[in-house]
Every structure is written in C-alpha cells, then in structure tokens.
Structure 1
Amino acid sequence: MARLLGPSDIRGLAESLNTAPHKKWGQNFVVDAGTVQRIARLSEVGEGDRVVEVGPGLGSLTLALLATGAEVTAVEIDPVLAGALPATVAERAPEAVDRFDVVHADALRVETLPSPPRALVANLPYNVSVPVILHFLETFPTLERVLVMVQAEVADRLAAPPGSRTYGVPSAKAAWYCATRRAGDVKRAVFWPVPRVDSALVLMDRRAVPETAVAREDVFAVIDHAFAQRRKALRGALATLAGSPAASEDALRAAGIDPLTRGEQLGIDDFVRIAEALAAART
C-alpha cells in the first residue's frame, strides 16, 4: 500500500532537493493526504486504468492514484521534480514501480505518451489549466474522463451553461468534448504555499463531438470571435470573421439565429451551425 505524503514529508522532500514551489510554473503542492485520496476516489480510476497526471510536483496525488491500482504517467515540466519522482514512488509505493512513468515535458507540447490514457487526473497549474485540458482532450481521444483541480473561478467557467454569468470561451469549448460539472470545493489550507484564490474540482465526461462538416478549428474561431467583445451582438462580433456585418447577419440567419443575439446565449450546437453557415457562404 502506498505511503502518502503529509506536510512534513513534502517540506522534507523539497529541502532534500534544494527546491521550493516555483511561481513561474504555477506550483502549489498539495500537502493533505485526505485531499489526494478524495480526488483519487472521485476520479473512479482503478486497477488497469491508464491515467495521465499533469504537474505531479513532489508526488502527493501520484501516490494516491497508484494506490488505486491504476497505471500512472506523470508529465512534469520541472526537471528537478521530474527526476525525483521515480525515487519517491520506489520508496513509498514499491509495488507500483512497474505501473509508473514520468515524462519530463511541457504539458502543452506533449503529443505522445507511453500508453494511451483513459483519464486525466491532476492538480493543474492555474496559469495554464484551460489550455492543458483542451490540448489533452484534442490530442488524446482515448480520454474518457477528466478530473482536475483548478482555480474556483475557472471551474465555474468550465461548467457554466449557456445564459449564465460565467459562461464564456472555456465553457463553450469544453462542451465540444465533454459534459462538465463542478465536483466540489478545495480548501486553501491544503496547499503549500497557500494560494490567494479558492480552488475547486471539475469533472468532465467525454461525449461524442458534434456532427459537422466543418473543422473543429472553424467552430472554435466562431466561439473566440463571439466572446471577444462579450456585450456585442453576434452581427458585429462575427463581422471580421464573416467579412462584413452584412455577411455575418446572412450567416446567422441561415443558421437560424437572431443577429442581435449575444454569444453567451448560445450552446455548442449553435456555434457549429454558425460555422457551417459561414463555410457555406464562402463556397
């Protein structure tokens, strides 16, 4: 059984490596064993499941995931931490050494992994959380489930439905891939250093992407333009993308959408129809 890390273990490991949490990589280490056990339980991963963890730090969540029987690949940008992780696993979960890999890389540049992952479970660096989630969902179609700890405000945005105050680009793009919901709050005190913002868990279950003749990039371009000026009606917001306000209005009407609608009122299927109408107008 894996021996999980507590506050003194974390600080002792950091001291032995002559390191500390780095702000440039958005590092906030989880020092509470109960929190990582909770995350592992909510992820519902188990024996034989292939899990990718981004930003494992000193290994708190890594050990909890290995304790479930899962196979874990940890992606770590910090060379010191990436180099130390195998020794931590060997010491605290020797029975799991054969189920663990570490990849020293920037998660936003990862294109391949030792094995195709079924789940992404991570305490993500706040500054890159949404790009990392979207990159992994696009790059690894085998991902069925994502459970990540992010800034509470980001969690709200990812899980927001159309029409809500927090609905925006992350919400719409996440909906292309997944059904998303908040899975609970996380207290600031479980981190070292203690962050100035609240954290929350987000659970994302893969769904079939919308059926469309246009590329995902075309749909995402519509989303980006629709929210670039949030209070602007779509007729104006999409004018640059369409070529003119008149062309924008024609495409919106062809998609069955009132040109005076704002982006925050639309779901992913609406954005797909707009992208299709814009593509049809160009042919």
Structure 2
Amino acid sequence: MQRQGRTPLTRLLDPTAVRELAGRLDLRPTKQRGQNFVTDANTVRRIVQLAGVRSDDVVLEIGPGLGSLTLALLEVADRVVAIEIDHLLADALGDTVAARAPEHRDRLDVVEADAMAVTELPHPPTIVVANLPYNVSVPVLLHLLARFDSWRRGLVMVQSEVADRLAAGPGSKIYGIPSVKMAWYAATSQVGSVPPRVFWPVPNVDSGLVAIERRDPPTTSATRDQVFAVVDAAFAQRRKMLRSALSGLAGSSAAASTALEAAGVDPTARGEVCTVQDFARIAEQLHGS
C-alpha cells in the first residue's frame, strides 16, 4: 500500500550507480561481512511488495549497504530504521538518501552497530525487511525475534540453502536447529528466489525470500532456553536416537527414555521428526515441570 500523495522514486540504484557509489567510497566488499549489494530496482521493489510493507509501517532493515533496498522501502513505509555495522556504509547512507530521495531523508534512522549487539532502537519496528548477510543470517534473525517483539511480520533475503532450512518442516532431511527455533517464534514460508546476477559482487549461490508471520510460542512451563537446549542436543548428532542424544541433558539414556515417553515421544525417534511442541514437552519432562 503506497502512502497517499507520494510519488514513486525514480532514482533507485542501478548497476552503474552502485559501482559509482562504491568507487566514491573506495569500498571493497568483504566476504567476512557478507557484503553483496543489490543492483536491480525491480528486485528491491518486488521485495517491498512481497513483504506487504504499508504506509504506517516502521521497517527494520539489517545491513542496508549502499541503500538499494532502503530507497525502495522509503517509497512506501512511514519510517526505516537501518542497522549497519560498517562505519563507511553507515556514514554514507544518509547522504545517498538525501541525494536520491531528499523528501524522505527525515524518515530514515541509521544505527551504526552490530545487529547481534543491538538491544534498543530509536523506534519500535512493525516489520523486518532485509537482505541479511549470508554468514550471520540465522543468528541475526533469531536475535531480532528474541529481542524486539513489536514486529509481527517480516521478509528476509538469505542464501537459498538457509531459506530452505528456515522454512523446513518435521520429517525433512533439511529440518534442523534453525527450522525448530524459527518455529518457536513464527510461521515461515518461502515466497520467491533471487538470482545471483542482481548482486554486486555476484555471489556463487542463489538467494531465497522467506516470509515471517509471528505467532505465540508453544504453551509450556519450560523456558525458551530450556527448550532450545533440547533442540541443540537433539541435532548435535542427527543420526542418534533421541534417548541417546538427550542422555547428557537427562543424566542417562534410561532417564532420557523416561522423559521422552512421558512427553509422548518415541525414545527411538530422531530429532528431525519432532515438532517445536514436541521439544517443549520434552523440556518440561527433563526439567521436572
């Protein structure tokens, strides 16, 4: 939904503009920070549309980079809060928006920080839309879900393999720790893919778009940390039966079997068949709840 009376920006970043900006900043993208910048205006507008960004939204963007997605978000959203760890990029983002969309500059907040360390924001976000750095996408996403409960919707672009894992369900070979921990917070689904050619530098992998809809966590007397400890143990060695995988937490294989049976889970099953609700019940039994 586009804000009434607002005309769409015509100065989104294209390949030439991205390279000019990078050259002006003497920027050398690093793999360490997962820096791959979108160079295609249609791609960022598609992301904004699929995310369902509304005119009253406060968008939290992680890793805005040179501002490709930021500019597209500002066409629609009421405000964008962008967290950028790279001082050079954080310092330049406001100038880029002022030059290419001066009427929107006052609705951008740039937070120079490591997203994993951010505990406060200038405005509570209602939605997260981000091209997440490949190397830290899952921990960043889980941190944002744990720390900021004001946002109820999101759409993130991540490495295709990560997108598969985030959206996987029980019984799948790729279902694992990211799948279960995401399910604690939200329902996730893959809503599209993005080819490498729309990035600079061009990555050697495809990207996937994952939609996120918050929901209440399972009703349980166990804490989130207790449940996540069970999840971590269950998948530490995927081929182990749960009674063996959880023996360390329970104190013995026999104690683990007793807890699993009380939780209604087959002790000879493996973690990949368990739902997040199953893990919550297991945690309750292990902690005597």
Check whether TM > 0.5: yes
TM-aligned CA deviation for residue 23 of structure 1: 1.6
| Residue 140 of structure 2, aligned match among 132, 136, 149 | 132
Partner of 2:262: 254
Q: SS at the partner of 2:287?
A: helix
Query: What is the correspondence of 1:82-93 to structure 2 with a 5 Å cutoff?
Result: 82-93=90-101
Partner of 1:165: 173
1:80-130 CA distances to partner (integer Å, 9 max, x unpaired)?
Answer: 000000001111111111211000000111111101111110001000000
Distance 1:210 1:96 in 2: 40
Query: What is the correspondence of 1:196-275 to structure 2 with a 5 Å cutoff?
Result: 196-275=204-283
Matched, 1:79 2:87: yes
Distance 2:185 2:74 in 1: 27
Partner of 2:15: 7
- Answer yes or no: is the 8 Å Cα contact 2:193–2:209 preserved in 1: yes
Query: What is the correspondence of 1:17-166 to structure 2 with a 5 Å cutoff?
Result: 17-166=25-174
Q: SS at the partner of 1:150?
A: strand
TM-aligned CA deviation for residue 145 of structure 1: 1.1
Total equivalences in the alignment: 281
- Answer yes or no: is the 8 Å Cα contact 1:45–1:70 preserved in 2: no
- Answer yes or no: is the 8 Å Cα contact 1:181–1:202 preserved in 2: yes
Distance 2:228 2:280 in 1: 9
- Answer yes or no: is the 8 Å Cα contact 1:212–1:272 preserved in 2: yes
- Answer yes or no: is the 8 Å Cα contact 2:32–2:135 preserved in 1: no
TM-score (norm: length of structure 2): 0.96
- Answer yes or no: is the 8 Å Cα contact 1:53–1:122 preserved in 2: yes
Partner of 1:278: 286
| One-letter amino acid of the structure 2 residue matched with residue 154 of structure 1 | V
- Answer yes or no: is the 8 Å Cα contact 2:59–2:77 preserved in 1: no
Partner of 1:175: 183
Distance 1:210 1:116 in 2: 24
| Residue 190 of structure 1, aligned match among 172, 184, 198 | 198
- Answer yes or no: is the 8 Å Cα contact 1:27–1:125 preserved in 2: yes
- Answer yes or no: is the 8 Å Cα contact 2:119–2:147 preserved in 1: yes
- Answer yes or no: is the 8 Å Cα contact 1:6–1:32 preserved in 2: yes
- Answer yes or no: is the 8 Å Cα contact 2:22–2:28 preserved in 1: yes
| One-letter amino acid of the structure 2 residue matched with residue 200 of structure 1 | G
TM-aligned CA deviation for residue 64 of structure 1: 0.3
Partner of 2:5: none
TM-aligned CA deviation for residue 20 of structure 1: 2.4
Distance 1:120 1:20 in 2: 27
- Answer yes or no: is the 8 Å Cα contact 2:125–2:150 preserved in 1: yes
TM-aligned CA deviation for residue 133 of structure 1: 0.6
TM-aligned CA deviation for residue 48 of structure 1: 2.0
- Answer yes or no: is the 8 Å Cα contact 1:252–1:259 preserved in 2: yes
1:15-54 CA distances to partner (integer Å, 9 max, x unpaired)?
Answer: 0111121221110000011100000111111212111100
Distance 2:90 2:23 in 1: 16
TM-aligned CA deviation for residue 70 of structure 1: 3.0
Distance 2:134 2:78 in 1: 25
TM-aligned CA deviation for residue 198 of structure 1: 1.3
In structure 1, stretches of 5+ residues that fail to align are: none
In structure 2, stretches of 5+ residues that fail to align are: 1-7
| One-letter amino acid of the structure 2 residue matched with residue 140 of structure 1 | F
- Answer yes or no: is the 8 Å Cα contact 2:58–2:77 preserved in 1: no
